[in-house]
Chains A and B, each alone.
Chain A
C-alpha cells in the first residue's frame, strides 16, 4: 500500500519536474544550435556588431538589441502610468458598479491574441502615424503603442493585487492622522505595495520583449540602429520571426543565436523579478 503511494509520489514528482526538464531542454537546444555562430563571430562582435547581413555571413545584432530596448521602453512609458493608475483606481477608488465593468474588460484585453493586436496596429495605428508624421508609418512609436496596450493587463492585475494586499491598517493609520485619501495612497499604500508594483513592471517588460507577431507587423523590420521614435526598427524577436521561415544553414543558426541573447535577457529579467521582493522588503 505504502509502496504504491511511494510510486505515485515519484510519478507526481516527475510531472512536476517536467517543467524544469522543459526549460533545460529548451535552453540546451537553443544554445546547441546558436552557439557556433556566436563563437565564430565572437560574443562582442555578435552583440555589438552593427551590421546584419546573413547572406554575406555578417551577423551583428546590436541594432536589434537597441530596437527591443527602445520599443520596450516606449511600451513601459505608456503602459506603466496607465496601468498603475488603473490599478490604484480599481483597488482604492472605484465603485462596485464601475469595477464590474472594468475588470472583465481587462481580462478580455489580456486574452486577445497578439495577431489581432498586430492587425489593428497595422491597419489603424501605422497609417495614422504615416499620415501624421509624413513618414513610412512603421516605427518604434507604433510598436510602443501596441505593446503598451498589450502589457496593460499584466501591470494592472499584479499591481492591483499587491495594492489590495497592503494591510488596511496602514491606510487607516494615515487617514487617522489627517491625511486625505489621495495622500494616504501616494505616501503609504503605494510605497508599501512597491515590490509588487515593480514585479508587475518587470513582468510587463518581459512580455513586451518577448512579443513577436504583433511587432513584425508594425515596426517595419529595418536593420538600422533606430534614430528616433519615428524610425522603423527591428526587435530581437522580429529578427528571428521574419527570417526564420526562410533561413537555412549558418543563417538559421544565427537566428538561434539571436534566440540565445533573447533567452538570456529574459532569464535575467526573471531573476531580477525574484530578487526584488527580498531586497525592497516591506
Chain B
C-alpha cells in the first residue's frame, strides 16, 4: 500500500520539479549583458495585452527589442483595446495596448502614443466600387443602404462585416463615421484577421480593419473615402478621415523592462519598425 502511494507521490514530485526546473532555463542570471545591468534587478519579463490591431506591431517591436536585449521576455496577448486598458488599470499586465483614445475616466493611466493607424475600408477585390462618401459608409453600416447598386456597384445585397463590441477598431470606426448603431444583421468577427478572411471569401462584403494589416493584401481592395485614398500621406494630412492612435498604456510611470521597451519603441529605431510595418510614426 505504502509503495504505490509513494510511487504516485514521487511521480508527482518529479513532474513538479521538472516543470519548475524548466522555469530556470530562460532568464539565466549568468548571462548578464551590459543592457541588463542597466535594467538592473527589475523584472526580466513583462506581460502586454490589448488591441489586436496593435498586437502584430508590438510583436515585431518585441522581436527587434530582443535582439538588443536577448534576456528580455515579452509576452504579448490579444484581447482588444478594452481589455488592454482594463488589464493595465488592474495591474494584471505591465503594458496595455489600445487602438483608440482613452476615455476621460481612463486618463489615470500613463499613455504613450507609438503610432498612428488608418482604418481602411475594405472590399473584396472583385467588387467594382472604388469610393464611398463618409455618409454612404455610415448608411451602409446603419442598414440604410442595403444593395451595392445604390452606390454604383453590382445588383447584390451588401454583406456588412463588423468587429465585436469592445474592439478599439470598432469603437474608433463608429465614432469617426458618426455611426450610432451597427445594423443587427451585420456579421461580427472577432479580430482584424477574421474580418479580412471574411471579406476575401465573400464578393459582396464590406469591412473595416487596421490599415497596417491590410495594406499589402492582394485579395482586398482599400477604397477611398470622400475621394481621399487610404494611404500614409492622406492619413498624416488628415484627408483620410478615419484614423486612430496606437497607444501603450501603463498604470504608473513605467520602470525597468517596461520603460526600456517603451523607450525603444519611441526611439528612432523603434519608429523605423513602425514605419516598416505600414503604420505611421508618431513624429514625422
- Residues of chain A whose beta carbon lies under 8 Å from any beta carbon of chain B: 51-55, 63, 127, 130, 135-138, 216, 220-225, 231-232, 234, 241-243, 245-249, 251
Chain B nearest CB from A63 CB (Å) reads 7
- The answer for the CA separation of A251 and B83 in the assembled complex, in Å, is 11
Report which residue of A51, A136, A138, A231 has the largest number of chain B beta carbons within 10 angstroms of its beta carbon.
Answer: A136
Let me know if A248 and B188 touch, CB within 8 A.
no
3 shortest interchain CB distances as A-B pairs? A246-B80, A246-B166, A248-B86
Let me know if B202 and A246 touch, CB within 8 A.
no
Let me know if B189 and A221 touch, CB within 8 A.
yes
- The answer for the CA separation of A241 and B165 in the assembled complex, in Å, is 12
Interface SS of chain A: loop
Given A135-B157, A245-B78, A246-B79, does the pair A54, B184 have CB atoms closer than 8 Å? Answer: no
Residue pairs across A and B with Cβ atoms less than 8 A apart, 26 shown, are A54-B165, A63-B184, A127-B201, A135-B157, A136-B187, A136-B202, A136-B204, A137-B201, A137-B202, A221-B164, A221-B188, A221-B189, A221-B190, A222-B185, A222-B187, A222-B188, A224-B185, A231-B185, A241-B190, A242-B188, A242-B189, A246-B190, A247-B82, A248-B166, A249-B86, A251-B165
Chain B nearest CB from A145 CB (Å) reads 18
Given A216-B190, A223-B184, does the pair A243, B166 have CB atoms closer than 8 Å? Answer: yes
Contact with A along B77-104 (1 / 0, CB 8 A): 0111111011000000000000000000
Please give, as numbers and ranges, the residues of chain A lying within 8 Å of B157 by CB-CB distance: 135
Let me know if B165 and A221 touch, CB within 8 A.
no
Let me know if B165 and A247 touch, CB within 8 A.
yes
Could you tell me which residues of chain B, from 109 to 162, have a CB within 8 Å of some CB in chain A?
157, 159
Let me know if B159 and A136 touch, CB within 8 A.
yes
Chain B nearest CB from A151 CB (Å) reads 24
Please give, as numbers and ranges, the residues of chain B lying within 8 Å of A220 by CB-CB distance: 187-188
- The answer for the CA separation of A225 and B189 in the assembled complex, in Å, is 18
Let me know if B190 and A248 touch, CB within 8 A.
no
- The answer for the CA separation of A225 and B185 in the assembled complex, in Å, is 8
Report which residue of A130, A221, A242, A246 has the largest number of chain B beta carbons within 10 angstroms of its beta carbon.
Answer: A246
B186 at the interface (CB under 8 A from A): yes
- The answer for the CA separation of A138 and B205 in the assembled complex, in Å, is 12
Please give, as numbers and ranges, the residues of chain B lying within 8 Å of A243 by CB-CB distance: 164-166
Let me know if A223 and B188 touch, CB within 8 A.
yes
Given A137-B202, A246-B164, does the pair A222, B79 have CB atoms closer than 8 Å? Answer: no
Chain B nearest CB from A134 CB (Å) reads 8
- The answer for the CA separation of A282 and B161 in the assembled complex, in Å, is 53
Please give, as numbers and ranges, the residues of chain B lying within 8 Å of A55 by CB-CB distance: 165-166, 171, 174
Chain A nearest CB from B206 CB (Å) reads 11
Please give, as numbers and ranges, the residues of chain A lying within 8 Å of B18 by CB-CB distance: none
Could you tell me which residues of chain B, from 221 to 256, have a CB within 8 Å of some CB in chain A?
none
Chain B nearest CB from A230 CB (Å) reads 11
- Residues of chain B whose beta carbon lies under 8 Å from any beta carbon of chain A: 78-83, 85-86, 157, 159, 164-167, 171, 174, 181, 183-190, 201-202, 204-205
Closest to B157 in A: A135
- Between A and B, how many residue pairs show CB distances below 8 Å? 86
Let me know if B205 and A136 touch, CB within 8 A.
yes
- The answer for the CA separation of A247 and B79 in the assembled complex, in Å, is 8
- The answer for the CA separation of A225 and B183 in the assembled complex, in Å, is 12
Let me know if B83 and A232 touch, CB within 8 A.
no
- The answer for the CA separation of A243 and B191 in the assembled complex, in Å, is 10
Please give, as numbers and ranges, the residues of chain A lying within 8 Å of B184 by CB-CB distance: 51, 63, 222-225
- The answer for the CA separation of A241 and B194 in the assembled complex, in Å, is 14
Closest to A63 in B: B184
Closest to B80 in A: A246
Let me know if B165 and A222 touch, CB within 8 A.
no
Given A136-B205, A243-B166, does the pair A221, B185 have CB atoms closer than 8 Å? Answer: no
- The answer for the CA separation of A63 and B183 in the assembled complex, in Å, is 14
Chain A nearest CB from B142 CB (Å) reads 13
Closest to B105 in A: A249
Please give, as numbers and ranges, the residues of chain A lying within 8 Å of B171 by CB-CB distance: 55
Please give, as numbers and ranges, the residues of chain B lying within 8 Å of A222 by CB-CB distance: 184-188
Please give, as numbers and ranges, the residues of chain A lying within 8 Å of B166 by CB-CB distance: 54-55, 243, 246-248, 251
Please give, as numbers and ranges, the residues of chain A lying within 8 Å of B187 by CB-CB distance: 136, 138, 220-222, 232
Please give, as numbers and ranges, the residues of chain B lying within 8 Å of A137 by CB-CB distance: 201-202
- The answer for the CA separation of A220 and B86 in the assembled complex, in Å, is 27
Please give, as numbers and ranges, the residues of chain B lying within 8 Å of A224 by CB-CB distance: 183-185
Closest to B180 in A: A56
- The answer for the CA separation of A247 and B50 in the assembled complex, in Å, is 11
Given A63-B184, A216-B190, A222-B188, does the pair A246, B205 have CB atoms closer than 8 Å? Answer: no
Chain B nearest CB from A53 CB (Å) reads 6
- The answer for the CA separation of A138 and B190 in the assembled complex, in Å, is 14
Please give, as numbers and ranges, the residues of chain A lying within 8 Å of B81 by CB-CB distance: 246
Report which residue of B81, B159, B164, B171 has the largest number of chain A beta carbons within 10 angstroms of its beta carbon.
Answer: B164
Chain A nearest CB from B249 CB (Å) reads 13
Let me know if B167 and A232 touch, CB within 8 A.
no
Q: A222-B184, A222-B185, A222-B187 are in contact. List 8 more A-B contacts (CB 8 A).
A: A55-B165, A130-B201, A135-B159, A221-B190, A224-B184, A242-B188, A245-B78, A247-B80
